[in-house]
Amino acid sequence: MSKLITYHEQGDIGYITLSRPEKRNALNSAMVEEFQRVLPVQNAPPWIILSGEDCFCAGADLSEWVALSFDPQKMQEITQRARGLFQQLYNHPSRLIAAIERLALGGGAELSYACDYRIAGEHAKIGQPEVTLGFSPGAYATRFLPERIGFQHAAELVLTGRQITAREGYEIGLVDLVVEDGQARAAAEEFTRNPRDTQPKVSCSREESLQLQWDPQGIVPEYTYRAARCALRDPSKEYAFFLETLLNEETKRRITKRFGR
């Protein structure tokens, strides 16, 4: 049986590679479990580069999610396990770089958010398209994005499901470096030798961000997201308040266009 996740070290760098190219590295429960097994805890190297064969990660494996839709308890267990993995990555003592090629969508995008840096090929796409299927971002997006890129940009990504290019991601502070397609991993290796050439665009320290992002309830972002999603089907004063007070005109226009409201 082939490995779904591989890990090896070379010098000061550890390499984690998602190896399910026939599914564009879509995450399933077996991959999450294997990821947690290979992730070094003791004697971890200073840097870890996370990448994927052919592309980064197209998100969750929808075939598994459809099968689990009839077993809510099992689905909840798998979701919690994925969240635990992302928290392990965020808390990890190594500095993590996501080397993004082609796609970082849904859970794949959230996987990259748990890293310290994101380096992307110029034609890579990043986003949360699961919202167009009626799923909320399950692990990290609603807690990470508002702090990293501001509420306006975060609201657009998690409410519309729009996929942005690597260049757009760089312009809003989500991507740290854009390189030629196929060069993200090599650029990540170079970055470990000159980490100050490009610093992440954050508005607080890693420790402060940790407290903000891993609030167990994530009340503000999760509440806002769910309230807005429900209100898209059932207009309410709550939704009107959300639109009028929290979103600018351009974001409102895009959300309204996306959902036909």
Spell out the domain ranges in the chain.
5-197, 206-259
Q: Residue type for 152, please?
A: Q
CATH number of the 5-197 domain: 3.90.226.10
**pLDDT one digit per residue (tens) for the chain, 261 residues:** 468 999 999 999 999 999 999 999 999 999 999 999 999 988 999 999 999 988 999 998 888 877 766 677 877 788 788 888 988 998 899 999 999 999 999 999 999 999 999 999 999 999 999 888 777 776 678 878 888 888 888 888 888 889 999 999 999 999 999 999 999 999 999 999 987 544 443 333 333 333 333 333 443 344 344 444 444 444 444 444 444 544 556 656 665 565 554
Which residues make Cβ contacts (< 8 Å) with residue 216, sequence separation at least 6?
none
100 close to 118: Cβ distance less than 8 angstroms:
yes
Rounded to the nearest 10°, the torsion over CA 8, 90, 99, 121 is 170
Task: Please report, for residues 46, 140, 209, 213, the alpha-carbon distance to residue 205 in angstroms, rounded to integers and kept in the order given.
Answer: 19, 18, 6, 12
